Amino acid sequence: MNPDLRNLIALQDLELSIASLQKQSSQIPNKTQILENELARIRDEHDREVARSKDLANQRRHLEGEVDMLQTKLSRLKDQLMIVKTNKEYTAMLHEIQTAEDQIRREEDKILDIMEETENMDQLLKKAEQEMLKKSAEIQEEIRKTTESAPKLESELARLQEEKNRVEATIGDELLARYRRIAKACKGVALAEAKDELCSACHVRIRPQMYAELLQTENIYACDSCSRILFHRDNS
């Protein structure tokens, strides 16, 4: 293979690697931010569940306080029942006692409902907390890895850049200028492998005579269709 062409291939490989690493590197802050948002969301959700559980406990305490008050009222009414003088007073008192008892029953039903909900919730919370801790640890690990990858990417980029400069210096000015022109027009890919008589970039058939010369000589040819510089891997 033409040594200039060999160097051009190396240059293109290096440039494509550099572009890919630069892209990865530029995505790090965004990726980290997405992970941090996810972490905050998971923690918020768990905090809301914990708050709901506390809210239920407060409701229960409040209802229990009301039941205590009603019980006190009830025993006072029962005491008063002993000392009423008239039938009318007695009936009114009985009615009041009945009302208080009904009220106590209703409040106690509510307390039972809350106890049941609390029990379910506590079980779910225990499970949810474990999940949350596991997921948080995973995300934190991911954030750590992503953050740590930055300096590695940077040093790899510096190494490739150095290598690129070295290869670039070995290529003649004219060919390099041609390569740059095509690369600019073709999204950074100025070389195309000629394979099975086709240009592997645009998939247009290469003229048979040119293809034969491409395989046999060290001349540099370009695809008639996309203008990319053609090369053939001859395993040498």
Binding site for Zn ion (CB under 5 A): 199, 201-202, 223, 225-226
Give, to the nearest 10 degrees, the angle between helix 3-83 and helix 87-169: 170
Please state the closest distance from residue 198 (CB atom) to Zn ion, in A: 8
Please state the closest distance from residue 210 (CB atom) to Zn ion, in A: 12
Please state the closest distance from residue 194 (CB atom) to Zn ion, in A: 9
Residue among 66, 64, 96 nearest 79 (CA): 96
H helix or E strand, kind and range, residue 192: strand 191-195
CA gap 197, 203 in Å, rounded: 9
Name which of 46 and 228 has its Cβ closer to Zn ion. Answer: 228
Name which of 11 and 226 has its Cβ closer to Zn ion. Answer: 226
DSSP state of 193: E
Q: What is the DSSP string of 44-104?
A: HHHHHHHHHHHHHHHHHHHHHHHHHHHHHHHHHHHHHHHH--SHHHHHHHHHHHHHHHHHH
Q: Are 80 and 110 in contact (CB under 8 A)?
A: no
Please state the closest distance from residue 18 (CB atom) to Zn ion, in A: 23
Please state the closest distance from residue 189 (CB atom) to Zn ion, in A: 10
Between CA 212 and CA 182, with CA 225 as vertex, the angle to 5 degrees is: 100
Name which of 128 and 210 has its Cβ closer to Zn ion. Answer: 210
